[in-house]
Chains A and B, each alone.
Chain A
Amino acid sequence: MIGLPLLTILIAVPLIAGVIALFLTPSGARWLALAATLFDLLLGAYLWVLYDPNGAQWQFVEKLPIAGNFSWALGIDGIALVLLNLTTFLMPICIGASWRSIERRVPEYMAAFLLMEALMLGVFAAQDLFLFYVFFEGGLIPMYLIIGIWGGAERIKASYKFFLYTLLGSVLMLIAMLYMVGTAHTTSIPALMAFNFSREAQTWLFLAFLASFAVKLPMWPVHTWLPDAHVQAPTAGSVILAGVLLKLGGYGFVRFSLPMFPQGSAEFIPLMFVLSGIAVVYTSLVALVQRDMKKLIAYSSVAHMAFVTFGLFAMNRQGIEGAMIVMLSHGLVSGALFLCVGVIYDRLHTREIAVYGGLSNNMPGYALLFMVFTMASVGLPGTSGFVGEFLSLIGTYQASSWAAIAATTGIILGAAYMLWLYWRIAFGVARTPEAAEMIDLSAREWWLLAPIALAVFWMGIYPESFIRPIRNDVGRLVTRLDAVAPAGDSHLTLGEGAHAHMDMEVTH
C-alpha cells in the first residue's frame, strides 16, 4: 500500500503521547491521553473503512529492515483488524474511567496506558516474529506497573503472581521461535504461516507456544493469576486486561498455533477440549460462590474464554468465526462489567457484593445498563454474547458431542452466577444506608458505558459487520486445517432403504 504508513502512525501516536505525558501536569496528561486515544479510535475506524474484505490477505503492509532478518514489518488481515479496533475502542473508555479515580502519579499512569496501547496495537499489526515477541512481552510491563503501583491493597502479591506465570510461558515461546527461525530461515509471520514444519517439531512447538498462550488466555489450570490481577488492578486496568490482554492468547492460537502447526494442534485437540471443558464447569462453579464482584467476573472470564478454545480447536468455520466473535464480545462485555463494578466502587470503595443491593431504586440508569451487560454475558440472543457462543458451540458439536455438552452447561451456570450477582446488586433493598444514597450515573459514566452497550447490540443483531472482515481469513485457515480437522463423533448412518453410507463430517 502506497501512501502514509498508517499502522506505524497508529502505534507511534500513543507512544509519543505517552512520552510527552510524563512531562505534563495531571490534567494535561489526562487530556493528552484522551486526545491520543481518540485519534487512534478514528484512525482505527478509518482502517476498517479502507480494509477490503475481498482483497489481499495482508493489507496496509509496511516493511523497514532493521538488522538481519529482523525488520519493522507491519500489516494486518481481517482477524488483526477487528482486534485492533477493539483495542482502539476500549482505550479512550479506559482513559475516561481513570479520569477521576486515579489521583496519584497521573502523568505516569497515563503514560503507562498509552505505552500499553502502542504495544497492544503492535502485537496485532506485527508481521515479524521477533517484533511480535517484543510487543507481546513488552505489553506486560505497563500492565505489571499499573497493577503494582495503582492497584489495591494486595497489589504486590498480584503483580508478582502475574509476573511468575507469564515469565515461564514467554521463555518457552522464545526458544520455540528461535527454533522456527533456524528451521524456516525467515522471521516473516506470513511466510511462517505457510511453512510446513516436520510433524515431530510441530508437537514441541505447539506445546511451547501453548505454555505462553494458555497463560494469557487463561486456560485452566494456569488461570489463578487472573482473579488476583483483576481484583487488585484499578478499574481501567481490569478493563484492558479483560478486554485486550486476554485476547492475546486467542490471537496467538489463531495466528501461530493453528496455521503454523496444524498437525501439532490436531494432536492436542483432546487435551484442549478437556481443559476447556473443565474450565467451563470448574470456574463457573467457583464464580457462583464469590463474594467479591471483580473476582466473580474474573472467573466468568475464564469460563468464557473456554468457548474460544473450544471453537478454535473444533477447526471448522463456525467454530473459528465463533471464537473470534466470542473474543470481541467478551472484550466489550467483560470490559463493561468491570466498568460497572468501577462505577459503584468509586462511590463506596468496596467490591463486596453483600454491601450493595436495591440499586434499581436509586440508580435506575445504572441498573438498566448493568442488566444489558449481564444479559450479554449470559449470552442472550440479540446481544453479542449469543452470536459468539452459538457459533463456537455449533462448531464444537461437529467436532465432538461430548465437548459440546460440557461447553453448553456453561449457559446454565453462566445464567446462575450472573443473575444471582445482579439480584444481589440491583434488586432487593439496600443493605447499607450508604448504598441507598449512591447517585445514578454521571454524564461521564454514561459516555463510557452507552457506546459499549450500542456495540453489544450491534454485534448481536447485525454481526455480519464483524464476520465479513474475517471471513476470508478464516476460510484460509480452515483450508490449511482441512486435512487435520477432527472428524467428529457423530458418524451419521442412514437407515434401511438408504444404501448410501454418509460420513457426515462437515467439510463446508
Chain B
Amino acid sequence: MHPVIFIVFLPLIAAIIAGLGGRWIGATAAKVVTTGALFIGAFLSWPLFFQYIGGHADAVVVPVVTWIHSGTLTVDWALRVDSLTAVMLVVVTTVSSLVHLYSWGYMEEDPSQARFFAYLSLFSFAMLMLVTADSLVQMFFGWEGVGLASYLLIGFWYYKPSANAAALKAFVVNRVGDFGFSLGIFGTFLVFGTVSIPAILHAAPGMAGSTIGFAGMRVGTMTVLCLLLFVGAMGKSAQLPLHTWLPDAMEGPTPVSALIHAATMVTAGVFMVCRLSPMFETSPTAMHVVTWVGAITCFVAATVGCAQNDIKRVIAYSTCSQLGYMFFAAGSGAYGAAMFHLFTHAFFKALLFLGAGSVIHAMHHEQDMRFYGDLRKQIPITFWVMVIGTLAITGVGLDVAGGIGFAGFWSKDAIIGSAWASGSVPGVIAFWLGVLVAGMTSFYSWRLIFLTFFGEPRWAASDHIQHALHGDHDEPSEEHGDSAHDSHAAPTGTGGYHPHESPLTMLVPICLLAIGALFAGQFFHAVFVNPESAPHYWNGIIAFSRELAETVESASLWVKLAPTIAMLIGLWIAWNNYIRNPGAAGRLVAIFPGVYRFVLNKWYFDELYDRIFIRPALWLGRLFWHGGDEGTIDRFGPHGAAYAVGIGNRITSRFQSGYLYSYALVMLLGLIGAATWAIWWAK
C-alpha cells in the first residue's frame, strides 16, 4: 500500500476514535491517538517529499473506491501524489502534528479536550483529501470538509456568542466562494466532459480563445471558468472582498488559528490556482484578475494590520496580506514562487501564532497588546522564537554570495521580483504595492514585538490579569478581543503579576517551527524557484516558467534591494515610534484621526456588508413571508377560495373536531365516486 493511504486516513480514524469514543477512552488516550496519527503522517510525508526532490518518484494516483457515476460524469475517491502534493503533505502533516502537540499544553485546562483533538484531526484529514484530490469534486470535498472543521473549531467555545457569530460568518462567506467554485465545476464539466484534473489540464490549451455563453453574455471560455473557480479560492484564502471572515476566525483557540487560519486551510486557494495553473495560463484576463485581487488584498490587509491592538488580529491581517503576495505571484505566472512562499509562510506564520499563543498563555488570556510590555525577561524562549519568526516574515537577508537569509527573505523576494519580471501592467503595480507592503509588514511585525516584549509593563490594567490575581475568573479558556477594554486607560506596572514561560509541550513545537523559519528558505529555494533545478522538481505539474525565473535572477540590483530597503524603513519607523519615542504613534494618529479610524475599523467592510447584504436579506425574508405568503398567496388562494363560496367564515370559525370526520368521509366518498365513475367511463 502506498504510504499516502496512511497519511490521509489515519487522522480520520483518529478523529472518529477521539470524537465518538472520547468519553470512554478519556482525554489522554484521545490526545495520544490523534497526535500519534499526525506524527506518523509527518514521518511518512518527508521521505516522499525528498523522493520527489531527488527525482526518484513520479506522479501516482491511488484509487480508493467509486464515488459518483452518472452518465459520463465519473468521480472516484482517489489519492493523487505528485511534487505539488508532496509539498502540501509536508506542510500539512508537519504543522498539524506540531499544533497537536502544542495543544497538549495550551488546552490543558479545557474540559472538552477529546472533542478539540477530534476536530483538529478531522481538519487534517479533510485538508489532506483536498491536497491529494485528483478531481475537482474531491477537491471540493476537502474544501468543504476543512470549512466544516474550521467552523467547528472557530465555534469551539460554543458558549461565547462572538465565537458562534464568527463561525457562522466563516462558513457562510466561504459558501459565497463555493458558489463560484461550484459553478466553475459545472462549467468545466460542460466544456471538457470530465472533472478529472489531469484530463482538464491536458485539454485546456485547446480551449484557449474559444467563447461560451454564460448568463446571457458571450465570454471567453477559459476566462469564465478560471474566474468562477478563483471565486472559490478567494473565499477560502480570504482575499478581498471575501476576506472579512478571517480576522473574526481568531475567536477560535490559538492553535487553531495557527494551523487552519495561517498555515494550511487558508492557503488552499493558492494551492488550487497552482494545481490548475496550466488552465489559468490559457486566460491572460483571469491571470490579471488574480494579480489585482492579490495585490489589493496584500495592501489593504497590511494597512489594517498596522492599527490593530489584538495580537492575534495583527497576525490574522498579516496572514491575509501574505496570501495576497502568493496570489499576485501566481497571477504573474510565478507559481513556483507562490508555492515557495506558501511553504515558508506555513512555518513562520504558525510559529508567530503559536508564539502569540504562548504569550497569551503567559498573560492569562489577555490578547490586547496595550496591556503587554517588557515580557522579554519573563518569557525569554517565547521572545526569541517570536523574533526569529519576525525576522523570517519581514524577509531579513543579504544578497551576497548566493544569498543568505531567513525563510521569508527567499520567498518574498522571489515573489516581488517575479511581479516585476512579468512585465505586465498589473504585475508592475503589484511589484510596487509588494515593496510598499514589505515595509508595512516590517512595521506591524516589529510593532508587535516592541509592544509585547519591550517598554514598560502595562499589565495592571488588564481585566484578565486582575482576574488571575484575584482568582475570580469564570472560564479559564476564555479569550477576549480588544473590544472589551476600549474604555480603559493604560496605567503602567505589573500589578504584582508574574508571567510564566509555557510548558515544554508548547515550547518544543515552537522551537521546531523556528528551525523551519530559519532554514526553509535557504534549503529549499533551489527546489521551488531556481531556474536550473526547479523545472526538474515541478516536472510539468505546475506551469513553471523557466524564462520568468531567469528574468528574476538577472533583474537589476535596485529591484532586488527594494524590498529590503522597505523592510528597513518599516523597522526604523516601528523602532522610532515604540522604542525610542513611545508617544510618537499616538501623536501621529492624532494628526490623521479619520485615516486611523478607517483602518482601525477595517475599512468598514463589515458595516458595508451588513447594510447591503444581511439587512436586505432579512427584510426581504420578512416581506416574502408576511407580504407574499400570508398577504398574497393565502389571501387570494385558499382563504379567498373559501370566501368565494361563502363558507369562509363558517369554516374557519365553526370547523371543529366533529366536522373533521365528516370532511374525511366526504373525501373518501368523493374518491370512491370518482374512481367508480372513471372505471365506468373508461369501459
Contacts and interface: CB of A to CB of B under 8 A. Distances in A.
Interface in B632-668: 633-634, 637-638, 641-642, 651-652, 655-657, 660, 663-664, 667-668
A419 B209 contact: no
Interface stretch (B180-188, B542-550, B590-598): B180-188
Interface stretch (A43-51, A241-249, A335-343, A462-470): A462-470
Given A161-B638, A397-B186, A492-B212, A428 B69 contact: no
B86 to A, nearest CB: 24
A70 B72 CA distance: 41
Interface string B159-180: 1010010011001100110110
Contact of B191 (A322, A416, A489, A504): A504
Interface stretch (B30-38, B272-280, B572-580, B616-624): B616-624
Contact of A148 (B69, B137, B638, B660): B660
B172 A178 contact: no
Interface string B186-198: 1101110100000
A163 B187 contact: no
B140 A381 contact: yes
A496 B168 CA distance: 47
A405 B183 contact: yes
A182 B50 CA distance: 77
Interface stretch (B319-327, B599-607, B675-683): B675-683
B206 A138 contact: no
Contacts of A138: 668, 671
B609 interface: no
B667 A381 contact: no
B497 interface: no
Contacts of B221: 492
B682 A178 contact: yes
A111 to B, nearest CB: 13
A59 interface: no
Contacts of A428: 158-159, 161, 164
A160 B625 contact: no
B208 interface: yes
A134 B674 CA distance: 9
A182 B678 CA distance: 10
Given A156-B660, A288-B618, A289-B622, A401 B638 contact: no
Given A164-B638, A492-B210, A380 B179 contact: no
Nearest to A136: B671
Interface stretch (A74-82, A190-198, A407-415): A407-415
**Chain B contact residues: helix, strand, loop or mixed:** helix
A495 B282 CA distance: 12
B213 interface: yes
Contact of B660 (A145, A375, A404): A145
Given A224-B629, A427-B164, A498-B210, A419 B69 contact: no
Contact of A144 (B159, B634, B667): B667
A133 B678 contact: yes
A393 B175 contact: no
B67 interface: yes
A382 B675 CA distance: 45
Given A282-B628, A394-B73, A402 B674 contact: no
A491 interface: yes
**Chain A contact residues: helix, strand, loop or mixed:** helix
B658 to A, nearest CB: 11
A178 B186 contact: no
B164 A423 contact: yes
A497 B205 CA distance: 12
A494 B190 contact: no
Contacts of B622: 289
Residue from A149, A283, A286, A463 having most chain B Cβ neighbours under 10 A:
A286
A341 to B, nearest CB: 19
Nearest to A430: B159
Contacts of B68: 387, 390-391, 463-464, 467
B29 interface: no
Contacts of A494: 206-207, 209-210
B403 interface: no
A354 interface: no
A255 interface: no
Of all A-B residue pairs in the complex, the 6 with the closest CB atoms, nearest first, are A495-B209, A317-B71, A397-B186, A289-B621, A68-B683, A381-B141
Given A160-B655, A427-B164, A461-B67, 10 more contacts: A70-B682, A130-B675, A283-B624, A318-B71, A361-B159, A397-B190, A415-B171, A419-B167, A497-B209, A498-B209
20 contacts: A67-B683, A68-B680, A69-B679, A70-B682, A138-B671, A163-B667, A178-B678, A181-B682, A381-B145, A398-B186, A398-B190, A411-B179, A416-B617, A419-B167, A419-B172, A423-B155, A492-B211, A495-B209, A498-B210, A504-B212
